[in-house]
């Protein structure tokens, strides 16, 4: 069982994971467990202070190192009691290494880890030096705190755990493990608002369907996310499929232009 601990001043936010969907099911079936720790519970002053003004001035507040350290140590102690010898402490931070599918797969192999979600402008640097093993960012945009990024990390990791999906096939077929975007999906009705489902999907010809889907995935990846194909050699079959898809797309575009004239 994967052990997850998170240090946060908003523990209730993590109910988004424990109350809904795939993550709720994985929790109920014992795929992982999750405990949220509030640094406010580790301070004794009447205001239960966890932040203060930055030395050197400037806007916003900085999280105090003391309460965070006590809180992290309690989370680490729980991990150790559960048999996780050296749980890494991972800070969610705009300065972190980018969280990718490869990082998610690495974390899913581990017995457990502690996430630290910051609020305000940041965390006292000395706490990071003393307690944090790794920093992760989910991308180049600003969120209001580390909690949503922590949930993104947990969700992406938990859905990789064995037995955590409705459909066991999906995780290995997933876009990013394959390095390709998804093909388009269709369901009933066969015709909707004048648009028909591609005939091949109604044909019952499984080989033709698989070929069509692969072709669509290649075409979409090539046109929307060329970066995913950049460092990568396509198989002879894939290269031929993509070439065919590009020719078909070009002739469709030419037809559309003719109709406009």
Binding site for ligand 9D3 (CB under 6 A): 92-94, 118, 121-122, 137-139, 141-143, 145-146, 149
Structure tokens at 130: 């003393």
Question: Considering beta carbons, is residue 67 or 146 the nearer one to ligand 9D3?
Answer: 146
Q: How far is the CB of 31 from ligand 9D3 (least distance, A)?
A: 24
Q: Which of 3, 78, 159, 214 is catalytic?
A: 159
Tell me if residue 35 is catalytic. Answer: no
* DSSP string computed for 39-50: GGGG--STT---
Question: Considering beta carbons, is residue 121 or 244 the nearer one to ligand 9D3?
Answer: 121
What is the distance between the alpha carbons of residues 172 and 164, in angstroms, rounded to a whole number? 12
Q: How far is the CB of 165 from ligand 9D3 (least distance, A)?
A: 26
What is the distance between the alpha carbons of residues 50 and 35, in angstroms, rounded to a whole number? 20
Tell me if residue 11 is catalytic. Answer: no
Question: Considering beta carbons, is residue 84 or 136 the nearer one to ligand 9D3?
Answer: 136
Q: Which of 121, 135, 178, 244 is catalytic?
A: 121
Q: How far is the CB of 148 from ligand 9D3 (least distance, A)?
A: 8
Structure tokens at 164: 């955590």
Nearest Cα to Cα of residue 11 among 39, 31, 33, 32: 39
β-pairing, 51-52 with 122-123? unpaired
Q: How far is the CB of 179 from ligand 9D3 (least distance, A)?
A: 23
Question: Considering beta carbons, is residue 31 or 122 the nearer one to ligand 9D3?
Answer: 122
Q: Which of 155, 174, 178, 238 is catalytic?
A: 174
Q: Which residue(s) pair with 191 in the sheet? A: 196
Running DSSP on this structure, what letter comes out for residue 200?
G
Mark 237-247 as b/e (b = at least 16 C-beta within 10 Å).
Answer: ebeebbeebee
Tell me if residue 121 is catalytic. Answer: yes
Tell me if residue 28 is catalytic. Answer: no
Catalytically annotated residues: 94, 121, 159, 174
């Amino acid at each position: 069982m994967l052990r997850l601990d998170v240090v946060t001043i908003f523990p209730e936010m993590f109910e988004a994971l424990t109350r809904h969907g795939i993550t709720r099911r994985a929790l109920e079936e014992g795929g992982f467990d999750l405990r949220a720790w509030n640094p406010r519970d580790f301070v004794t002053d009447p205001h239960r202070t966890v932040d203060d003004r930055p030395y050197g001035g400037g806007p916003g507040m900085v999280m105090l190192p003391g309460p965070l350290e006590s809180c992290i140590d309690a989370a680490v102690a729980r991990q150790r009691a559960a048999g996780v010898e050296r749980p890494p402490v991972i800070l969610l931070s705009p300065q972190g290494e980018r969280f990718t599918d490869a990082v998610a797969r690495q974390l899913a192999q581990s017995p457990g880890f502690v996430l630290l979600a910051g609020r305000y402008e940041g965390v006292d640097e000395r706490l990071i030096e003393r307690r944090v093993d790794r920093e992760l960012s989910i991308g180049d945009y600003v969120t209001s705190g580390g909690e949503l990024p922590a949930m993104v990390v947990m969700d992406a990791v938990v859905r990789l755990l064995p037995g955590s999906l409705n459909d066991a096939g999906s995780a290995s077929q997933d876009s990013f493990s394959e390095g390709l975007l998804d093909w388009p999906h269709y369901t009933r009705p066969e015709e909707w608002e004048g648009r028909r489902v591609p005939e091949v999907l109604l044909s019952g010809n499984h080989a033709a369907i698989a070929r069509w889907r692969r072709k669509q995935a290649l075409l979409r990846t090539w046109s929307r996310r060329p970066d995913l194909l950049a460092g990568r050699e396509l198989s002879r079959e894939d290269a031929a499929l993509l070439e065919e898809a590009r020719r078909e797309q070009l002739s469709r575009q030419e037809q559309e232009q003719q109709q406009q004239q």
